[in-house]
């Protein structure tokens, strides 16, 4: 990079985020140069590394991409872009081959064929995995090793991005700072192409299976720059977060239910009995609501692996076993206490089939993006697949632009509001905790108009009243506002969006949402004005 005091120019594309989507895009761009920006050392704090289930791909002779696409559409509750679902399913096998070539150690049977497991709402065993629940970590390790040995990729660790740089209506770079220093003056990193792969919104919720520092920053900064946002109200809650006092909530993989684990209450009765014909393997939103309602009535929920796995759980699902043992639970001998936890965001920065956003010069992939694949309720293990497919597409599309002339200079971001009296860091931490509690309470598994209005008022109060309104916090409140405002507008229940005051799907309602932050803020201000 060339540099002066406040401006640096990247060679090639800038990739914001170093999870699976960002690293795979960098590898696919090679030998074209690119720069990957990561707030933490590679592999730390990436949601991808925590993915337990694996990657969905129709590889078995009896399966097909068409059947995979069909299951994706059914799970998405009428909100899936069917053309996207077909194309992603058709590319799945090629992306698995890519990972095998770089050393991903997927499980195989005695004859050397890839082992595949069954997860909820899949009609076939089609999830490739590693040691039961180690797929995310193993794939990330393979990607990191490949990135480290690829000379065209430059990785900058310890760098956070809070703002996109705009010049003449197009994204021309990012404003970056040293990670951990919220009020450092930003440096402009210029690039002809910016790929946003900054993760989801899990850290906006007090109960989440995601790294708590992944807080909707990418969604918020793109929205503040004017990007069109898709389906922000569709948030997926995993039914089986392990109910222990940890932040984030440890996850009991859905693959456990694929192996026959049962969901039982405090009396040993099966919670899903009479709720759905697929019982434990019903779509995630159905299972999550059933557990949420049982717990809300004062009951307890457990995942029972004793008969289905017994002592084998330690070898076949080592991550889950370790989480349980840390909490004093022996999953081979006693049921695992569980509760629904925020797990995935189907919404995000709206993209087309090439990963292009509504802002020229900006692409998005991974959980920060809304491609139309997931609809209202993501099919299990489609998330890593989507990240791989769109990262590969974006790498090809963006590489052409990244080779063009240098971008025009961008104006600086607006100045921060001066800190008020008191301890600004403490105040910011308190505000983040309050925001997370609000989102879990009022924009969680089940929502209603009263709670959503209360959430919007509280988000506004926190944004206006925090002594140090850092750009990082503004990104959080922007993302939270988009989710809550879109949820308030959608007066029906569909997939991961459940309105207890509108419990049925509305056939007349558009299944998908397109919204800008400007519109979401108008809704928020209207709610605040009404009191």
Annotated catalytic residue 293: no
Q: Write down the catalytic residue from 8, 284, 289, 378.
A: 284
Q: Please, are residues 292 and 446 in contact by the beta-carbon 8 Å criterion?
A: yes
Q: Cβ(192)–Cβ(410) under 8 Å?
A: no
CA–CA dist 518, 174 (Å, integer): 21
What is the DSSP secondary-structure string of 329-366? --TTTSPEEEEEEEEEES-EEE--TTSB-SSTTEEE-G
Contacts of residues 285-288 at CB distance under 8 Å and 24 or more positions apart, as own/partner, are: 285/77, 285/236, 285/237, 285/376, 285/377, 285/495, 285/496, 285/498, 287/120, 287/239, 287/263, 288/236, 288/237, 288/238, 288/239, 288/340, 288/445
User: How many Å apart are CA 281 and CA 262, to the nearest integer?
Assistant: 10
In this structure, are strands 187-190 and 7-9 parallel, antiparallel, or unpaired? parallel
Instruction: Give the bridge partners for 447, in sequence order.
Output: 499
8 Å CB contact between 376 and 368: no
Helix (H) or strand (E) run with residue 198 in it: none
Q: Are strands 159-167 and 170-178 parallel, antiparallel or unpaired?
A: antiparallel
H/E element, 177: strand 170-178
Residues known to be catalytic = 284
């Amino acid at each position: 990079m060339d540099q002066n005091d406040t401006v640096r120019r990247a060679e090639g594309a800038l990739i914001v985020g170093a999870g699976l989507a960002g690293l795979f895009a960098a590898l696919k761009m090679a030998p074209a140069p690119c720069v990957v920006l990561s707030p933490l050392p590679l592999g730390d704090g990436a949601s991808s590394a925590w993915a337990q289930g694996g990657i969905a791909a129709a590889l078995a002779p009896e399966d097909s991409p068409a059947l995979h696409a069909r299951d994706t559409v059914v799970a998405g509750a009428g909100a899936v872009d069917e053309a996207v679902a077909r194309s992603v399913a058709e590319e799945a096998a090629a992306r698995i081959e890519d990972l095998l070539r770089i050393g991903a150690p997927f499980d195989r049977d005695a004859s050397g064929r890839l082992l595949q497991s069954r997860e909820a709402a899949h009609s076939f065993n089609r999830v490739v995995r590693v040691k039961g629940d180690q797929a995310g970590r193993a794939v990330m390790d393979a990607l990191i090793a490949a990135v480290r040995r690829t000379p065209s990729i430059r990785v900058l660790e310890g760098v956070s991005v809070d703002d996109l740089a705009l010049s003449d209506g197009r994204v021309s770079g990012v404003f970056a700072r040293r990670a951990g220093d919220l009020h450092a003056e930003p440096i402009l990193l210029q690039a002809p192409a910016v790929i946003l792969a900054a993760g989801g919104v899990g850290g906006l919720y007090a109960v989440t299976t995601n790294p708590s520092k992944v807080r909707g920053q990418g969604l918020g900064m793109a929205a503040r720059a004017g990007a069109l946002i898709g389906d922000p109200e569709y948030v997926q809650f995993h039914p089986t977060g392990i109910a222990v006092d940890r932040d984030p909530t440890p996850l009991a993989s859905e693959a456990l239910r694929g192996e026959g684990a049962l969901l039982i209450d405090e009396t040993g009765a099966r919670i899903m009995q009479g709720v759905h014909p697929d019982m434990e393997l019903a779509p995630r939103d159905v299972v999550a609501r059933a557990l949420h309602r049982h717990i809300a009535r004062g009951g307890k929920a457990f995942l029972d692996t004793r008969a289905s796995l017994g002592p084998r759980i330690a070898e076949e699902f080592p991550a889950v076993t370790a989480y349980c043992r840390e909490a004093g639970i022996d999953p081979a001998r006693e049921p695992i206490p569980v509760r629904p936890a925020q797990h995935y965001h189907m919404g995000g920065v709206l993209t087309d089939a090439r990963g292009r956003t509504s802002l020229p010069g900006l692409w998005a992939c991974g959980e920060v993006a809304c491609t139309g694949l997931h609809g209202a309720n993501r099919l299990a293990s489609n998330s890593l697949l989507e990240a791989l497919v769109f990262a590969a597409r974006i790498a090809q599309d963006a590489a052409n632009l990244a080779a063009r002339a240098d971008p025009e200079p961008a104006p600086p971001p607006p100045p921060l509001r001066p800190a008020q009296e008191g301890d600004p860091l403490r105040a910011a931490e308190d505000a983040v905790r309050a925001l997370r509690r609000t989102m879990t309470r009022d924009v969680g598994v089940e929502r209603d108009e009263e709670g959503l209005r209360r959430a919007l008022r509280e988000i506004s109060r926190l944004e206006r009243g925090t002594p140090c309104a850092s750009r990082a916090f503004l990104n959080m409140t922007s993302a939270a506002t988009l989710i809550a405002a879109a949820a308030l507008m959608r007066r029906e229940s569909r997939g991961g969006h459940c309105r207890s005051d509108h419990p049925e799907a509305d056939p007349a309602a558009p299944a998908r949402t397109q919204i800008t932050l400007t519109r979401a803020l108008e809704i928020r201000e209207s709610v605040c004005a009404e009191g």
